[in-house]
Structure 1
């Protein structure tokens, strides 16, 4: 049973999930990752096939919107002679829709799509557009994989029948971070926001809550992305309260921040799921997050603190409550169990295809 996993997005959270899958998959000799050339997969036990892709965001979009580029990648898929093709996220690109269509029509093989965001994040026209394309890709796919039970009813509303739907939770290879942990780093009264700075992540709410905790805590905001100019000036004008790391951070830098932090804050306005709770749990850092989407289940499982969205006062109380909270690493987060879930999914899809 040869499985080809196409992984257009290999930076950040999806890369760490992919590493966890590949390192713990029960039959790595049957697994091939088809990834952009930037992917660091030399240490993985499975086969890794890389294709050329520019690092620039605009150049990437040109590629993913080009039928000619998509056809070249499909010829590479065909050459690998897969029994199953699995698109791992990035379902909102036209190339993904073409791969699903060509796999079903020309190869007559099952095509699985992993959907990270069953509903689009607010505040971005690009997200709304890719979600519309993604829904067309789902229709072409034979099966759909989601990461949270929270979105099962929504997928049913979109016309995805239960027999086409698989649920396997998000998984992160935290060793990418924990290997950089240093001894003798003292916990600080520091609340850490880590991740790409996006409109839906509630950073204005975080700033307002932080100003109510002046003198009790400091706040680190770390990750790439663009803040509104007024909000950025507000943060930068208060160096006694905030430290801003507005860039892509190395794993070593992320590890250092989590070792310093006493609380991890996720004041999202809307969420699907996130790899951040995994990293926080690995470093023993309690999480306070809004009760939204699949994120709520993740935080609940690790004994974190849940609050309503868009509520600075609730965030203040949540941060104070989370201080010293004992976190747990749920058994179902075990990478071996998650990777076994993928193997079971592939086995079922393969068996169904063989019986037709």
Structure 2
């Protein structure tokens, strides 16, 4: 295929998808050997398709060039089709933060059944709503339409000339949709909450559905621990990974009051109750301290199976249990009745609850597992136990129960940390930077 034929083929592709003046073609003679160079001035969407047509033309340096439109606006679509929990909330808060950037044009694709759909609509952003499901029967029926959903999604990306698709959290349908992102020419960002599923959640089809995408252009990890797992276990080049911490997912709350008047240190366990969370060891540490007369109480809040734990809880004074799921809009009231949150985890990527606790002025006590020591700096915004044993947890809790000055210091440290490191301004700046890096725009 000669240069004229290649030029004609590329021009045909571009004309089918983009009207003038979004592209123009020129060719020139370069080098002493008379080699040919094809300069393509176009949007990035079709770089891959054109590259397959003419991979070896010219001198080999800069043969395909795709600057952004003269407006310089970065078209980012945030994509998550989950109905409840951290995924929709993270997507909503990230959208709000990115809206403050005049150089970014934000689009959304969310589930019509999402519990936050009124808040998404209130943003008045361009949005593709996808009908997913609300129960098992509707999930089966909707899954039969996955091909038409895929086409609808691809058409939206093409018609709106999306530059970046940020999958903010994986969904059961995500793996069937990513190829449409790639074929549209948009770059794909994969926000990875867990590079490895937690014990009890791994195995079977779920591992396949929720493992990181292998063909993304960039990856967002919430901790360096997860970034290392992406590189070491999934063979993802480190240069493709950006560590961008998780910001508060709860609604803004005023920092909580100081320790209750009864002088008991109020401990809080908050989140899903699963074996890897180590709640059994926290209850054992609590029992040990109560026998020693340490003035503490414990509130356990979260959904999950408590049946195996109840024999440990029964008979212990000062324990409250709210064995139900708590939406992010109600998290502020949970933190208001706590002096410190305890994370006795046996395994962890990072904790989605830490930043929200810090925003309420609640420091943390945690085990030295996974990404937790990255989020919690011992003696600054919390305490890190020596290990995962009940004895080590008890020692850390006792230290805080006996030192009001330390508790006050950690409260201030928690507030300072969330303002300086875990704010949505920090997160959105990182997302914009990674997006531009994936496009090769270099900030243009």
Fold shared, TM-score > 0.5 on shorter chain: yes
Give, in angstroms, the shift of residue 200 of structure 1: 1.0
Residue range with higher mean Cα deviation, 45-54 or 331-340: 45-54
Unaligned runs of 5+ in 2: 1-73
For normalisation by structure 2, the TM-score amounts to: 0.69
Which of residues 242, 248, 267 is equivalent to 1:191?
267
| Equivalent residue runs for 1:102-117 within 5 Å | 102-104=180-182, 106-117=183-194
Whether 2:235 is the aligned partner of 1:155: answer no
The C-alpha deviation readout for 1:28-71, integer Å capped at 9, x for no partner, is 76111211222232443644443223333x4586479x373264
Task: Give the structure 2 partner of residue 244 of structure 1.
Answer: 321
Equivalence for 1:276: 353
Matched, 1:44 2:123: yes
Matches within 5 A, 1:8-47: 8-9=81-82, 11-25=84-98, 26-27=100-101, 30-37=105-112, 38=114, 39=116, 40-44=119-123, 46-47=125-126
| Structure 1 residues 60 and 340: alpha-carbon distance in aligned structure 2, compared to 1, 3 A threshold | farther
Matched, 1:201 2:277: yes
- Deviation track 1:70-91 (CA, whole Å, cap 9, x = no partner) reads 6415513532432221111216
TM-score under structure 1 normalisation?
0.85
1:1-356 equivalent positions in 2, closer than 5 A: 1-9=74-82, 11-25=84-98, 26-27=100-101, 30-37=105-112, 38=114, 39=116, 40-44=119-123, 46-56=125-135, 58=136, 62=140, 66=143, 68-69=145-146, 71-80=148-157, 81=160, 82-90=162-170, 93=172, 95-104=173-182, 106-125=183-202, 129-135=205-211, 138-157=213-232, 158-174=234-250, 176-178=251-253, 186=260, 188-214=264-290, 215=293, 216-227=295-306, 229-235=307-313, 237-238=314-315, 240-251=317-328, 253-300=330-377, 303-323=381-401, 324=404, 325=407, 326-327=409-410, 328=413, 329-330=416-417, 331-351=420-440
Do the aligned partners of residues 340 and 59 (structure 1) sit closer, same or farther apart at CA in structure 2, a change above 3 Å counting? farther
Q: Distance in 1 between matches of 2:147 and 2:265?
A: 49
Stretches of structure 1 that go unaligned for 5 or more consecutive residues are none
Q: Distance in 1 between matches of 2:97 and 2:228?
A: 30
- 1 or 2, which has the higher helix percentage? 1
> How many correspondences in the alignment?
344
Aligned partners of 2:248 and 2:359 also within 8 Å: no
SS in 1 for 2:427: helix
Q: CA deviation at 1:242?
A: 1.3
Larger radius of gyration: 2
Q: Quote the offset at 1:205 in angstroms.
A: 0.6
Please give the per-residue CA displacement for 1:272-300, whole angstroms capped at 9, x wherever unaligned.
11221112212222210011111221011
Contact 1:110 1:141 in 2 (8 A): yes
